Amino acid sequence: MRASGVLALLLLGCGLSVARAAAPSPPDLSGVWLPVEQLATPWPAKLPLTDAAAQRYAKFHPDRDEPAGFCMPLGTPRNTLAGTGPMEVLQTSDRVYFIFQPNLLNAETRRVYLDGRSRAAEEDRIPTWLGSSRGRWEGGTLVAETTDLEPQAILNAQGLSHGGALVVRERWQLSRDAKRGEVLVDELTLVDPESFTTPIALRRVFVRAPDARLAEGQCSEGLWIDRLWRHRLAEHAAARRAPGTTGGDRPADAAGGARQ
Amino acid sequence: MKRLRHPPALLLAALAMSVLASVQAWADPARVARDMNGVWLPDSRRSDRAPSQLPLRPEAAEAQRRYRETYGPVDPTIDDANASCITEPMPYPVRLIAQYPFEILFTTGRMTMFFEIYGSVRRIPIGAPPAVLESLPTAMGTSRGHWEGDVLVVETTRLRHEGAGLPSGDPPVSNSRRIVERWSIGTDEEGKKQLRNDMTIEDPVVFTAPVSYRMRYKWSPDIEVGEYLCQQDIWDQNLQGQPSAVPWRQ
């Protein structure tokens, strides 16, 4: 009885090992990647916009309506589509993280969970700039779906907008390019019936860049330095007008000057 | 054979050495890394506060006094870089008592920390050769880690000064600043999993002695690190045409 039990366990163990060996391990996407602009598909020349989306698009003014101009995130999927800088991928068995640190902007980390966790209940969902992503491996392809995206975000620098119901479907896989060797390809489909009459399909391609670094952006640095130094200049000017004063209380007009 | 003069002492020493060797053999950094993976919140009740008196060298104390005399009183609405959404440098995000979570993710040869505050990302290569110091100082600095038994020792240098130090009225920060953190896993007195960071800040140009903090964090598996939108109110003003609720941003 005991021997047969041990044998059964051994057989079970062998079966599990075979099963494990049969399942192909997913490819390793981790590392730093740079976008290849020449291999990216452009936005369609004629965008399939609904009337509401066309009206929003026509009204876009970059100085007023560009969130990045106010140090807000690019958001998903613009961070992936923009092609403005390196992307870092961190991968474990149950998650894949895509990290973007676009030039001078703050870091954005897209978390794609592969552990089968459920989405929040409809009434508990809060739109975010990076959205909520779930994914799974289909052979060598990472299939991801992102929802709950903040409609204040835009999709490109021309101000293409989307609604709160936007769904971003992505298929990430390693491929080879004759000239560049191994590349990481993201096939994206943007589905948003409120904004697009048909889904928009785009491709983005990245090449490995082990020496590239993601720089730490400080988006509001300019704003702060500008304010600090305007204040300091006003303070020094006030001090020159009133010789003999050595600091202490701030000149009344200095604070005002800082807020012009 | 010559009789040993202190057999009990020798025996004790041998025993101690074998215990030490076993502890080293039991050390399991991979298990500790798995335990550290995930989201943590500061355990404010069990963590140290910043000391009210820092051990300043006379030159540093004089620099701070002179700065305050020249520019004081410090007005946080103008002088505090953080009020303008400038990331406060390390060790701020790990020394924070406010309930902002951070996430630890171990991957091959690396620990990455994702802080909700300012959305900062901190990369810590483990066991890697010294980094080539060609980059400019940053808020997260340049870090390297190595395991000492079950303790991850992280050394951080090349920290930028902006966002800390004199403009905020704090003591100056020098290029010699070095932070050594000893990260480990334990349990609190209620038996809950606890992340520990015993941290020492060295800055021989500014401090006469290293400054130490003991930080503790609560395991928070039900929390996700959220988006930190520091400039949200400026963006809202823009969208709604309303003045900001924050007076100095109007």
The rounded mean pLDDT for chain B is 86
For the cut 60, the answer to whether the pLDDT of residue B6 exceeds it is: no
- Using CB atoms within 10 A of its CB, is residue A19 exposed (0-12), middle (13-18) or buried (19+)? exposed
> Do A156 and A41 contact (CB within 8 A), yes or no?
no
CA distances from A103 to A45, A73, B120 (A): 27, 12, 15
What are the pLDDT digits (tens) for A66-107?
Answer: 888 888 899 999 999 998 889 999 999 999 999 998 867 789
Structural domain of B135: 27-224
Task: Judge: A246–B69 Cβ closer than 8 Å, yes or no.
Answer: yes
A133 and A96: one domain? yes
The rounded mean pLDDT for chain A is 84
Structural domain of A241: 221-258
Taking the Cβ of residue A238 and every Cβ of chain B, the question of whether any pair is shorter than 8 Å is answered with no
CA distances from A230 to A2, A191, B168, B233 (A): 85, 47, 17, 22
What are the pLDDT digits (tens) for B91-106?
Answer: 999 999 999 999 999 9
In a domain, A203, yes or no: yes
A135 and A244: one domain? no
Tokens 């807000």 locate to: A72
In a domain, B246, yes or no: no
User: What CATH number does residue B78 fall under?
Assistant: 2.40.128.20
Tokens 């709604």 locate to: B240
Taking the Cβ of residue A92 and every Cβ of chain B, the question of whether any pair is shorter than 8 Å is answered with yes
Task: Judge: B78–A108 Cβ closer than 8 Å, yes or no.
Answer: no
A110 and A203: one domain? yes
What are the pLDDT digits (tens) for B221-250?
Answer: 999 999 998 888 777 777 777 666 655 555
Task: Judge: A109–B119 Cβ closer than 8 Å, yes or no.
Answer: yes
Number of domains in chain A: 2
In a domain, A79, yes or no: yes
In a domain, A230, yes or no: yes
In a domain, B249, yes or no: no
Bond into A102 cis (ω within 30) = no
User: Looking at residue B127, what DSSP letter applies?
Assistant: S
For the cut 50, the answer to whether the pLDDT of residue A257 exceeds it is: no
Query: Is the model's pTM score more than 0.95?
Result: no
A201 and A77: one domain? yes
A114 and A193: one domain? yes
ipTM: 0.85
A129 and A161: one domain? yes
In a domain, A6, yes or no: no
A229 and A201: one domain? no
Question: φ and ψ at A55, to 5 degrees?
Answer: -65, -45
Taking the Cβ of residue A220 and every Cβ of chain B, the question of whether any pair is shorter than 8 Å is answered with yes
A107 and A71: one domain? yes
DSSP-assigned letters across all residues of B160-225: --TTSSGGGTSPP--TT-EEEEEEEEEE-TTS-EEEEEEEEEE-TTTBSS-EEEEEEEEE-TT---
For the cut 80, the answer to whether the pLDDT of residue B75 exceeds it is: no
Amino acid B5: pLDDT: 55
Partners of residue B71 in chain A, C-beta under 8 Å: 235, 247
In a domain, A124, yes or no: yes
For A102-124, letters b (16+ CB in 10 Å) and e give bebbbbbbbbbbbeeeeeeeeee
A243 and A174: one domain? no
User: Looking at residue A51, what DSSP letter applies?
Assistant: H
In a domain, B98, yes or no: yes
In a domain, A153, yes or no: yes
Q: Mean of the pLDDT values across residues B180-207? A: 97
> Do A83 and A37 contact (CB within 8 A), yes or no?
yes
Amino acid B77: pLDDT: 72
Taking the Cβ of residue B74 and every Cβ of chain A, the question of whether any pair is shorter than 8 Å is answered with no
Tokens 């990331």 locate to: B87
In a domain, A119, yes or no: yes
Residue B174: count other Cβ atoms within 10 Å of its Cβ: 16
Out of B72, B84, B231, name the one closest to residue A227 (CB).
Answer: B84
For the cut 80, the answer to whether the pLDDT of residue B190 exceeds it is: yes
A143 and A243: one domain? no
What are the pLDDT digits (tens) for A15-30?
Answer: 445 445 556 799 999 9
In a domain, B4, yes or no: no
In a domain, B210, yes or no: yes
Selection from A226, A225, A214, A218 nearest residue A104 by Cα: A218
Out of A97, A109, A221, name the one closest to residue B86 (CB).
Answer: A221
Q: Cα angle vertex A164, ends A159, A168, to 5°?
A: 80
Assign B168 a pLDDT band (cuts: 50, 70, 90). confident
Distance between CA B177 and CA B167 in Å, rounded? 18
Number of domains in chain B: 1
For the cut 50, the answer to whether the pLDDT of residue B82 exceeds it is: yes
What are the pLDDT digits (tens) for B135-160?
Answer: 789 999 999 999 999 999 999 999 98
In a domain, B231, yes or no: no
User: Looking at residue B130, what DSSP letter applies?
Assistant: P
What are the pLDDT digits (tens) for A108-127?
Answer: 999 999 999 988 888 889 99
From A157-161, B106-110, B246-250, the region with the lowest mean pLDDT: B246-250
In a domain, B216, yes or no: yes
Amino acid A246: pLDDT: 47
In a domain, B119, yes or no: yes
> Do A145 and A134 contact (CB within 8 A), yes or no?
yes
Residue of B nearest to A74 (CA): B229
For the cut 50, the answer to whether the pLDDT of residue B121 exceeds it is: yes
Identify residue B122 by its one-letter amino acid code.
R
> Do A151 and A126 contact (CB within 8 A), yes or no?
no
Amino acid A254: pLDDT: 34
In a domain, A176, yes or no: yes
Amino acid A108: pLDDT: 94
Selection from A223, A222, A249 nearest residue A235 by Cα: A249
Q: For residue B84, what are the contacts with CB-CB under 8 A and spacing of at least 6?
A: A220, A223, A224, A227
Q: For residue B184, what are the contacts with CB-CB under 8 A and spacing of at least 6?
A: B32, B150, B151, B152, B195, B196, B198
For the cut 90, the answer to whether the pLDDT of residue A223 exceeds it is: no
CA distances from A251 to A194, A241, A247, A257, B65 (A): 54, 11, 9, 10, 20
A140 and A103: one domain? yes
Selection from A215, A186, A225, A173 nearest residue A86 by Cα: A215
A154 and A237: one domain? no
Share of chain A above pLDDT 90, in %: 59
User: What CATH number does residue A54 fall under?
Assistant: 2.40.128.20
Task: Judge: A106–B118 Cβ closer than 8 Å, yes or no.
Answer: yes
User: Looking at residue B159, what DSSP letter applies?
Assistant: B
Amino acid A258: pLDDT: 30
